């Protein structure tokens, strides 16, 4: 029975200048670095042999380009709900900079002034989960770290704040699925980066 249950693969985009520097990159539409492009191709190698009923990607170029380089650009559907967290006033800032003014700030609990709250990004993640669960078969999703972490929390029936526990590296591959039945969502694979270069 469990062999026939669908699997949802989550691919985080490859490296960008800001993911490298630790700056919060929400709606700023940055390209991949050369290393990011190379690792996106390696992600494609990692996905070879797997079949997908649907492929979804964030419209931001870092996710779209990762999708293309991995070999799925021609069949991917753009999904605006997969856009990264809107960091508002914290866009482009590092966590240390934010905590210099707000020492107890936590993204997944507090959200961002002028940007999205955890409930708002949680609502977007819920819409994505609903769409994914309507697909018959495996699904592949390309997006950014924080939205994928919230999506995972919501997949498991947890509050958006639980996304804080699911660290994701660039160009990583993760998989969500079920144990025994569709009423038992689980994490099958998390933050696999064995395919990327050092």
Active-site amino acid positions: 13, 84
CA distances from 196 to 1, 5, 17, 36, 85 (A): 33, 28, 17, 9, 25
Determine the Cα–Cα distance for residues 109 and 118; give it in Å rounded to an integer.
Answer: 6
Instruction: For residue 165, report the phi and psi dihedrals to the nearest 5 degrees.
Output: -90, -5
Residues 6+ apart with CB under 8 A from 177: 5, 6, 7, 8, 185, 186, 187, 188
CA 168 to CA 148: how far, in whole Å? Answer: 8
Residue 148 tokens read as 């994928």
Residue 166 and residue 12 in contact, taking contact as beta carbons nearer than 8 Å: no
């Amino acid at each position: 029975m469990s062999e026939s249950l669908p699997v949802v693969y989550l691919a985080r985009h490859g490296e960008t200048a800001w993911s490298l520097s630790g700056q919060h990159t929400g709606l700023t539409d940055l390209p991949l670095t050369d290393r990011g492009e190379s690792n996106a191709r390696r992600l494609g190698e990692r996905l070879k042999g797997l079949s997908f009923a649907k492929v979804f990607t964030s419209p931001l170029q870092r996710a779209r380009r990762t999708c293309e380089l991995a070999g799925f650009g021609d069949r991917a559907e753009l999904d605006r709900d997969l856009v990264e967290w809107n960091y508002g006033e914290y866009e482009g800032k590092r966590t240390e900079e934010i905590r210099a003014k707000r020492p107890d700030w936590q993204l997944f609990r507090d959200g961002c002034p002028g940007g999205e709250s955890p409930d708002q990004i949680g609502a977007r993640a819920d819409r994505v989960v609903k769409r994914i669960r309507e697909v018959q078969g495996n699904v592949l999703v390309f997006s950014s770290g924080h939205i994928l972490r919230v999506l995972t929390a919501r997949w498991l029936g947890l509050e958006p704040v639980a996304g804080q526990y699911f660290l994701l590296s660039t160009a990583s591959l993760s998989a969500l699925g079920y144990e025994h039945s569709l009423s038992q969502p689980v994490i099958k694979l998390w933050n696999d980066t064995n395919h990327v270069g050092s």
